[in-house]
Amino acid sequence: MFFKSQGAAFKAWFVPMLYASGALLVSFTVPRLANNLLPGFVSTVSLNAAIGFYSAIASGMIALTAIVFSLTFVMVQFSATAYSPRLVLWVSRDPVISHAIGVFTATFLYALAALVWVDRGGSGRVPLAGILVVGLLLIISVMMFIALIQRVGMLQVTRMLIFTGDQGRGVIENLYPPIDTPPSLGPAELPAAPCSQTFQHHGHPRVVQAANISMLVDLASKSGCIIELLVTVGDTVLDTAPILRVYGTAPHLPEEVLRSAVELGSERTFEQDPKYAIRLLVDIAIKALSPAVNDPTTAVQALDQIEDLVVRLGRRRLEIGAFRDAQNNLRLLMRFPAWEDFLRLAFDEIRLYGATSMQVMRRMKALLNQSMRLLPQERLPALHHWQDRLQSTVDRTYSDAQDKLDASDEDPQGFGSSRR
């Protein structure tokens, strides 16, 4: 079983440790090799100047490391309060942060180690190799610090929305085939075979992050059975909760293989879960619509990304719950969200929390109308349903006739260019 959150936490401290170990290794080998192989490779810098140089770099790296931790804390806190607590994980996982801490730590340790070789054995010499290496590390540290400052710009709401939308677009492209692909066999056609095995989860609550489809299909094909995954990606499974069932007269499948085919972790990921990107965008929108924030423009920007994801989903074949082997035999059944599930997630909460905002109502009206113009016929009935529900919300919220008319107008910018 793969726990991606533990892997990310391991990487967060492993990368700086790797840099620190490398710095110590280089500090023990490079000066010694230079002293033995190139005894004349020395600097003309005075002893006091070299000691001051190394001491200033070592103390300065401590200050830079403290700034890195401060920036990380600010980024995490800001993303949690301004956008969504679920975005904190993706902000804190930025590899630039761990690499910056590693570079600063390496520079600090090497500068301290280089001090040992200044006037070593009363020689009165300053090895040039140490100055060159610590100078190179200092340049890299400055570059990493600039990269960190640039990362602060990622906290702008537009960039966070684009980042979240990009994650959703990626998983939609990878997971769903085009809509002209024939639909797969539905769960209703499951053969009347006995359930020979049920695999349960044991332990703390975990979130289903992904399923190794090819592994499950291959396992079922070799065993001559059908595997049904009882949970959906994004579900939280509790102790003794069934995860999958095996149908047929196949021998008992090894539980460790079944366990490794279903990835569980402490939080949801974008892998195989396009709902998660929409969930985060909706979280940002409804937080912006809260009375404490009262920022409907951010909600409109979130709806821009939601509209793109909805249109992309509408052009894809979402009925992919059945998987076959090379002989075209049914081997795996999984539950995936339906078209109506995506629309409910995308519209319902924003419709309710943004009912009193004409800007949001007008943007949602434009979203639905534009989606109906772009998507194929089979997607339109559900969109008509949400169009009626949106208009019902407007009629129920606004008593003034002119306000009701204004809120019912289609406007892709909320309050920008009327399409009446």
224: left (phi over 0), alpha (psi -120 to 50) or beta: left
pLDDT band at 308 (very low <50, low <70, confident <90, very high): very high
Name the helix (H) or strand (E) containing 209: strand 206-211
In the prediction, which pLDDT does 256 show? Answer: 87
Residue range 370-405, pLDDT digits in tens: 999 999 999 999 999 999 999 999 999 999 889 888
> Does the pLDDT value for residue 322 go beyond 90?
no
* 1 alpha carbon, distance to own chain's centre: 20
For residue 135, pLDDT over 80 is answered with yes
When mean pLDDT is compared across 79-88, 198-207, 285-294, the lowest value belongs to: 79-88
The full DSSP string for 305-335 is HHHHHHHHHHTB-----EEE-TT--EEEE--
pLDDT band per the 50, 70, 90 thresholds, residue 153:
low
Residue 243 near residue 230 (C-beta atoms within 8 A): yes
pLDDT tens digits, one per residue of 342-364: 999 999 999 999 999 999 999 99
Share of the chain above pLDDT 90, in %: 30
Per-residue pLDDT tens for 35-46? Answer: 667 666 666 677
- At residue 302 the predicted structure's pLDDT band, cuts being 50, 70 and 90, is very high
- pLDDT number for residue 198: 86
Tokens of 20: 């620190």
Does the pLDDT value for residue 189 go beyond 60? no
The SS3 assignment for 42 reads strand
The more confidently predicted of residues 253 and 5 is: 253
- Pairing of the two strands 330-333 and 322-324: antiparallel
CB count within 10 Å of CB 207 equals 20
Q: How far apart are the C-alpha atoms of 229 and 301, rounded to whole Å?
A: 36
Query: Within 13 Å, how many C-alpha atoms sit on residue 64's CB side?
Result: 26
pLDDT band at 413 (very low <50, low <70, confident <90, very high): confident
Residues 420 and 413: their CA atoms lie apart, in Å, by 13
Question: How confident is the model over 15-68, as pLDDT tens digits?
Answer: 888 888 888 888 888 777 766 676 666 666 777 887 888 888 888 888 877 777
Q: Who has greater pLDDT, 351 or 180?
A: 351
User: What integer best gives the mean pLDDT of the chain?
Assistant: 83
Cα–Cα distance measured from residue 413 to residue 411, given in angstroms and rounded to the nearest whole number: 5
Residue 369 vs residue 75, higher pLDDT: 369
pLDDT digits (tens, 9 = 90+) for 232-290: 998 999 999 999 988 887 678 888 888 888 999 888 888 888 899 999 999 999 998 98
Of the two residues 116 and 188, the one the predictor is more confident about is 116
Is pLDDT at 186 greater than 70 in this prediction?
Answer: no
| Percentage of the residues of the chain whose pLDDT score is greater than 70 | 83
Residue 24 to residues 28, 59, 109, 233: CA-CA distances in angstroms?
Answer: 6, 17, 7, 44
pLDDT of 139 above 80: yes
Query: Given this model, what pLDDT does residue 126 score?
Result: 72
Query: Is residue 9 over pLDDT 50?
Result: no
